[in-house]
Amino acid sequence: MNKQIHISQVIKSKLTRPDFVFKIVLGTLLLYGILYNLIQSFDYIYDGVEHESPNVLMFFLYAFTSEHVAYYGVLFVFALIVADVVYEEYLTKNIFLLYKTRKKVVFGMIKIVAVFSAIFLFAYIFLILVMAWNGNIPIDFHYTRDAIQNWGSMQLWHHLREASVYLPVSVLNYNEFVVLLLVFLKYYIGLVLLAMIGLIFSIRKDSVQYGSLAMLIVILFNLAMLEYDGPWNFYGIGISVDLSKIFRYISLQRYFIFEFADIKYDVMRIFAETYVQGAIWFLFLFGILYQMFERRDL
């Protein structure tokens, strides 16, 4: 009689492995150090703003839209440990033996990706709350309007980069909790897509190391896009091409920060475009995954 394998069993089995536990401890320490430095710089971005002080809502928005936190911390840690979970050979084979269908295998792997990404996101949110409490940041969920408007007045790219602020002024037109939840959802979609990329390469090469490597390459590509300053001028033939809009749709950048090009856009428009792009990316990656399992021997 076959026994159904649950995701909880997979996670428990991973937690008994010393190498996986070491990765979690190492990742937690790295995120702790980055968030600690973020708290130290949090007061700095409020210089020149009178009658307002940072609160936990603004710290959340700051932590979830800062390139330094995303690309040098959160995504690196995510890539370090997620491939170990989403590519579970034992679970894959048992799902196939239990249900006798490759379709069930694909949906089983997607379920692991979705669940682990959610666990990771909740753990990150919890860590931010702990850091805010330790940093004596008031547990207050209201916009500091003057600060947001001050950031929005920064027209120069390098000023925004120095402050690590990518927050459209239009958030002031919407409820704080609605915006915060949509930011969390945007981030979650990005994590799921990144994990799916890692899963595809892990399956393709039958190794979690290839999955981690693929995710790290995607992260580095996004970092390169942050440094991109278009347009590219081809003086020899008199053509000037701005590739930033193309990169916007072929990278995962918009899930983890608000792009500078969109800083003046309505924030709900940014969310809507991001979610539509996420759906297209998901269907594309799901199609690749499905085709891989159709051809794969289990």
The amino acid at residue 295 is R
Total residue count of the chain as it appears in this document: 298
Q: What tens-digit pLDDT sequence spans the chain (298 residues)?
A: 445 556 566 667 667 777 777 888 888 888 888 888 777 777 666 666 667 778 888 888 888 887 778 777 888 888 888 777 766 655 555 555 555 666 777 777 788 888 889 989 998 999 888 888 887 888 888 888 877 777 666 545 555 555 556 677 888 889 999 999 999 999 999 999 999 988 888 877 777 778 788 888 888 887 777 666 555 554 455 556 666 666 767 778 888 887 655 566 788 888 888 899 899 999 999 988 888 777 665 4
Peptide bond into 54 cis (omega under 30): no
**Spatial separation of the C-alpha atoms in residues 21 and 139, rounded to whole Å:** 31
* 3-class SS letters over 271-295: HHHHHHHHHHHHHHHHHHHHHHHHH
Range list of β-strands (E), the chain: 232-234, 239-241
Backbone angles phi, psi at 232, to 5 degrees: -90, 125
Give pLDDT, residue 163. Answer: 55
DSSP state of 80: H
DSSP 193-240: HHHHHHHHHHHHHT-HHHHHHHHHHHHHHHHHHHH---PEEEGGGTEE
CB 167 within 8 A of CB 57: no
Give pLDDT, residue 186. Answer: 93
